[in-house]
């Protein structure tokens, strides 16, 4: 089935009319495939892969992004992310998303190295505890397919030298904070993360954000009443405090838009979310210092903090 889809601080609290919105699709056409991955949870051990199509003689390679869905977002419901995945892939990324663990994982015994590299106690509820491990299993599976000499052209197009990007929504956003920890990031060469309306980071034993060790972008909104923007603010505060504001980060808290900002096409989706997600990965995987850098760190009308009406929006320590 075809899928559809330096300290700078800016605080914006009034509405502005913008004449130059950024693009919502990149230059690459895209397609998709589905694969069975036996290592994934038994709930649905398969993945969707959305990737660019190259029709020229010498094709570039594209960095890998693994994406963790939210609660009630797996299995057939992963279709809801179709537009979002396609938009990200169109900017030149191979996007892999696991179908497994629709409302959490059933196999709690996956164990090391997938569910302990963060060096933190398990997530809650316990059905979510193995979920961040699925993100890491997908990276390992794709790398094994590449190194095993798979004839499938999808795997020959992945640019492993660029490192890996990770992203997640809601339950998947909380899981992504775990995967972004130093030991996980080092083992799987994860170089940048995006949290989209993540589930709460402040837990009884501490804050998941405090162990993140790579550049991280967080996208939330005032209209999110399931995972309120305050939970994202708390996670980012822990991240910035623990890293002494030395690692690049961004928090975008936009006015309106619900928890479902990345899903269900024209019904709920904010198409600019994919643009800025892709831009973050362009900067830290492709080392862009031009167009996409300006979409995050620039001051133009199409830059993230000026693109829509904001409750708050800040960027910290952009790369030179």
**Segment 277-302, tens digit of pLDDT:** 999 999 999 999 999 999 999 999 99
**pLDDT value at position 123?**
65
Choose the CATH number for 7-316 among 3.40.50.1820, 3.30.1660.40, 3.40.50.2300, 3.40.630.30. Answer: 3.40.50.1820
**pLDDT value at position 6?**
32
Mind listing the pLDDT tens digit for each residue in 32-53?
999 999 999 999 999 999 999 9
**In whole angstroms, what is the distance from residue 67 CA to residue 74 CA?**
11
**pLDDT value at position 27?**
95
**In whole angstroms, what is the distance from residue 143 CA to residue 146 CA?**
5
Asked if pLDDT for residue 101 goes beyond 60, the answer is: yes
Does residue 82 or residue 130 have the better pLDDT? 82
Instruction: Please give the average per-residue pLDDT across 10-29, as a whole number.
Output: 62
The mean of the pLDDT values for the chain is 88
Confidence of residue 200 (pLDDT cuts 50, 70, 90): confident
CA within 13 Å, CB half, 45: 11
Confidence of residue 58 (pLDDT cuts 50, 70, 90): confident
**pLDDT value at position 10?**
33
**pLDDT value at position 118?**
82
Helix (H), strand (E), coil (C) string for 19-66: CCCCCCCCCCCEEEEEEECCCCCCCCCEEEEEEECCCCCCCCCECEEE
**pLDDT value at position 122?**
67
**pLDDT value at position 266?**
84
**pLDDT value at position 291?**
95
Structure tokens at 129: 């505890």
Q: How far is CA 76 from CA 1, 20, 30, 127, 314, in A?
A: 11, 36, 20, 19, 36
Asked if pLDDT for residue 3 goes beyond 50, the answer is: no
The least confident of 67-76, 190-199, 305-314 is 67-76
Coil vs helix vs strand at 315: strand
Instruction: Please give the average per-residue pLDDT across 130-137, as a whole number.
Output: 91
Asked if pLDDT for residue 15 goes beyond 70, the answer is: no
Pairing label, strands 164-169, 206-207: unpaired
**pLDDT value at position 289?**
96
CA within 13 Å, CB half, 99: 18
Instruction: Please give the average per-residue pLDDT across 76-101, as a whole number.
Output: 95
The least confident of 43-47, 64-68, 151-155 is 151-155
pLDDT above 90 covers a percentage of the chain that reads 69
pLDDT above 70 covers a percentage of the chain that reads 91
Confidence of residue 8 (pLDDT cuts 50, 70, 90): very low
């Amino acid at each position: 089935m075809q899928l559809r889809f330096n300290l700078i601080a800016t605080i914006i609290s009034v509405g502005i009319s913008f004449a130059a919105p950024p693009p919502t699709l990149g230059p690459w056409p895209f397609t998709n495939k589905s694969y069975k991955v036996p290592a994934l949870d038994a709930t649905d051990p398969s993945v969707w892969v959305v990737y660019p199509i190259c029709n020229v003689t010498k094709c570039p390679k594209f960095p890998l992004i693994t994406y963790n869905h939210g609660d009630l977002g797996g299995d057939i419901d992963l279709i809801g992310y179709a537009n979002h995945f396609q938009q990200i892939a169109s900017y030149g990324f191979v996007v892999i998303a696991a179908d497994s663990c629709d409302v959490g994982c059933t196999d709690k015994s996956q164990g090391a190295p997938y569910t302990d590299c963060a060096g933190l106690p398990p997530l809650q509820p316990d059905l979510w505890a193995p979920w961040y491990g699925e993100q890491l299993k997908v990276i390992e599976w794709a790398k094994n397919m590449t190194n095993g000499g798979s004839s499938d052209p999808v795997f020959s197009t992945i640019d492993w030298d660029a490192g890996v990007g990770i992203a997640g929504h809601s339950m998947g956003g909380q899981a992504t904070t775990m995967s972004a920890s130093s030991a996980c990031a080092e083992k799987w060469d994860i170089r940048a993360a995006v949290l989209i309306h993540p589930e709460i980071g402040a837990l009884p034993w501490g804050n998941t954000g405090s162990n993140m060790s790579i550049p991280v972008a967080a996208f939330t909104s005032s209209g999110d009443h399931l995972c309120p923007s305050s939970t994202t603010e708390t996670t980012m505060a822990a991240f910035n405090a623990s890293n002494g504001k030395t690692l690049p980060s961004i928090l975008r808290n936009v006015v309106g838009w619900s928890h479902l900002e990345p899903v269900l096409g024209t019904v709920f989706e904010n198409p600019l979310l994919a643009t800025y997600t892709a831009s973050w990965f362009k900067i830290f995987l492709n080392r862009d210092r031009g167009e996409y850098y300006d979409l995050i760190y620039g001051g133009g009308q199409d830059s993230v903090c000026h693109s829509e009406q904001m409750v708050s929006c800040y960027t910290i320590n952009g790369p030179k």
